[in-house]
Amino acid sequence: METAVRTPLDLLRQAQRLLVPLYQRRYVWDAEEQWQPLWQDILRTAGLRAEGANATHFLGAAVLQGTVARPGDLTTWEVVDGQQRLTTLQVAFDAVAGVLEELGHDRLVRQLTKLTHNDPDEVSDPADDLKFRHRNADGEPFRAVMNAPAPVAHGDLPGAEDRIVRAHAFFTTAAREHLAGADEDAAVALVDALRQGLQLVVISLGVDEDSQVIFETLNARGTPLTPADLIKNLIMHRVDAAGGDAERVWREQWSRFEGVFWTHRVSAGRMTLARSTLFLQQWLISRTGREVPLGRLFQEFKHYLEHESGQDIEELVLHIVQVAGIYRGLVEEAEGDSPDLTRAGLAFYRFGEVDTQVAIPVVLWLLDPRNGVEPGVAERAIVDLESWVMRRMMLRVTTADLGRVTARLIDELETASGQTADEVVRGHLAGLTASSTYWPGDAEVRRELLAAPAYRAFKRGRLRVLLEAVEDAERGFAAGTGRSGSRVMRRRMHIEHLLPQNWKPHWPVEDLAEELDRDAHVHRLGNLTLLTGKLNSSVSNRTWMGERGKWASLEEHDDNLMTRRVRREHSAWWDEAAIDARTEHMLDQLLATWPAPEGHEPTVGGEVTREHNSASVRDLVAAGLLQPGTRLTFRRRSDLPAAVVTEEGKLHVNGQDHTAPSAAGRAASGRGCNGWWEWRLPDGRRLHEVRDQLA
């Protein structure tokens, strides 16, 4: 291994071939984060050098590994790390050369062209005209733009919207603007800065040296490679080390993870990450029976590969790809429009809507063909898993320790027969007694939800899943095969209050006690239904009976059995007693959808902790818990400016809108604070008390 600080002239003056492997990630740099800052650094360096200073700008590191060359062949290097900056330099050199050609600076053009193109007399293969070559999908746009005659018509090139073509266009425009009206000295200074004012630390490895160790070390210091990128490079390195064909493995197997589905960014808790990274985390948990924090995904994968896998590396890749296909099918099923889902696809949908990934590794274990679990066994286990998750969600208890449970469950499944997986899952979950992990029984769910203000207590996605489950149960799906043919269309239905939220104009009561009782019932589960179309406010708020009443208007939207039941059983009146009775019935349906073992009423040790709430002010406004125009005052400081809640769910303080209560608190008080605790409503409640109503 040799390490040296090199300028582009040092690195690129000789005829050579620099290859970006097929399996490396594509070019991702952009104007705001990289191109513009780099150009400014180049111009600054050029200006200083023109004034006589020996100024340089350090670009970072590049790792190159030598390859076995045939006699008479070009010296060939594989780019292990640094291809983003090296690609950018090549594009910038060529773009500036094109502008210089337009201006007639032929000598300077030749100086830059020697850094990007090999001398034709030095190569036997026309494909080696460029010193830098991408074997991945960047190859075509890179070659097209680098060989296009000046002035380059970027919009007419293949892949005109490709980042490499856009980078070339950016540097072309930047060079034209810089050199417009300038004398030759400015052009000379620019070329000098590009050739000799930039520096890289170039690590040159021999054919037999381990490039992966260097790669991991360089990328452990904040370089924005995803864990999936690091895992891919590790796998391809191991394929090479085992005497395999890494490019074939990437092309035939791993390249699918470069597609839109896998690179799409998804939410996992408070994080947003590439779906491929999330899948690899869940797959690894399903294989190891250990919790795998995202921050340690690469390290844990490497440990598994080196010490636990026991598989040939290419067999391991095939296994990952096989499970990835199952995972993708379930995600696409869950995100699709068809009401006919497999049981696992329905679980994926519901887990997604309630924003939890914790049970997915167990589902993957159950569906992994290597574990030999019969479909019926897997389905029963998935029903119990879903019941455990959904019952805890209905009680709004913390999910902090559930990852530990699923990891231990997988560990237990590994030691059991696949044919008893359903019994293992049920026994494990039923035996949990800690408040942070237990499987709630029927009595507790009924007790907590009978009088709960469900509309305000649950985020809309969670509430919709509950109502959809009730409708599915009405169609016979709680017991398995449905009576009405298919499940309800997911995500399409509108949530409607039967007794309207604005009930006072058309639903009068006699005294304050009845008014308070009605207010307490309006958001309960039994007063909510799903409609195929949203009622306008005038219809929604009408009285129950009459030719144009609420009961009659529901007929236009009674495709759902849950709404038909209301019309059939409550044609005369809708009141608090009807809401209570319907809440009981809906709870029957929910408990049948997500059953627990017969007689299961766990004895829970420790205080049950409600789930931490990450709702925003905007969420509170959307849920009707916080009205626009409400004036919030600072606790114990009446002299400070008030915060006014806006229609957009922001807090307006001193002429500025703030999304976060703490930011609004700082604007009002001039110091850092927890705004959820400092801001008070006119009725004396703190803002966090309002937030606690929304799970």
What is the spatial distance between Cα 675 and Cα 37, in angstroms, rounded to a whole number? Answer: 37
Last residue of a domain, one of 192, 220, 248: 220
What is the spatial distance between Cα 343 and Cα 333, in angstroms, rounded to a whole number? Answer: 11
What is the spatial distance between Cα 411 and Cα 292, in angstroms, rounded to a whole number? Answer: 13
Counting residues of the chain whose pLDDT is more than 90, the rounded percentage is 49
DSSP state of 127: G
Answer whether residue 393 shows pLDDT above 90. Answer: yes
Q: Which of the residue ranges 26-30, 204-208, 455-459 would you say has the lowest mean pLDDT?
A: 204-208
Residues 514-552 have pLDDT tens digits of 888 888 899 999 999 988 777 666 567 778 877 777 787
Instruction: Name the more confident of 100 and 69.
Output: 100
Do 431 and 454 belong to one domain? no
Answer whether residue 416 shows pLDDT above 90. Answer: no
Residues 461-473 have pLDDT tens digits of 999 999 999 999 9
Establish how many alpha carbons lie within 13 A of residue 56's alpha carbon, considering only the half-sphere containing its beta carbon.
Answer: 14
> Which tokens hold the place of 634?
């600072």
The pLDDT value given to residue 621: 85
> Which tokens hold the place of 584?
């009981």
Following CA atoms 575, 581, 583, 589 in sequence, which dihedral angle do they give, to the nearest 10 degrees? -140
The pLDDT value given to residue 222: 37
Do 70 and 201 belong to one domain? yes
Is residue 605 domain-resident?
no
Do 571 and 635 belong to one domain? no
What is the spatial distance between Cα 416 and Cα 419, in angstroms, rounded to a whole number? Answer: 8
Do 231 and 157 belong to one domain? no
Answer whether residue 221 shows pLDDT above 50. Answer: no
Residues 99-113 have pLDDT tens digits of 999 999 999 999 999
Residues 159-174 have pLDDT tens digits of 888 999 999 999 999 9
Residues 31-65 have pLDDT tens digits of 988 999 999 999 999 998 888 888 889 888 888 88
Do 588 and 494 belong to one domain? yes
Phi and psi angles of residue 149, each rounded to the nearest 5 degrees, phi first = -70, 145
> Which tokens hold the place of 258?
């470069």
Print the domain residue range for 655.
617-692
Strands (E) located in 230-297: 265-268, 271-274
Answer whether residue 441 shows pLDDT above 80. Answer: yes
The pLDDT value given to residue 339: 83
Question: What's the whole-number average pLDDT of the chain?
Answer: 88
Last residue of a domain, one of 404, 437, 470: 437
Do 111 and 258 belong to one domain? no
Do 399 and 492 belong to one domain? no
Model confidence at 307, pLDDT cuts 50, 70, 90, reads confident
Number of domains in the chain: 4
Do 213 and 249 belong to one domain? no
Is residue 604 domain-resident?
no
Do 685 and 540 belong to one domain? no
Is residue 602 domain-resident?
no
By the 8 A CB rule, do 539 and 500 touch? no
Model confidence at 363, pLDDT cuts 50, 70, 90, reads very high
Residues 2-33 have pLDDT tens digits of 778 899 999 999 999 999 988 788 899 999 88
Is residue 682 domain-resident?
yes
What is the spatial distance between Cα 617 and Cα 650, in angstroms, rounded to a whole number? Answer: 6
By the 8 A CB rule, do 363 and 425 touch? no
What is the spatial distance between Cα 242 and Cα 239, in angstroms, rounded to a whole number? Answer: 5
Is residue 298 domain-resident?
yes
Answer whether residue 375 shows pLDDT above 90. Answer: yes
Amino acid letter, residue 322: Q
Answer whether residue 675 shows pLDDT above 50. Answer: yes
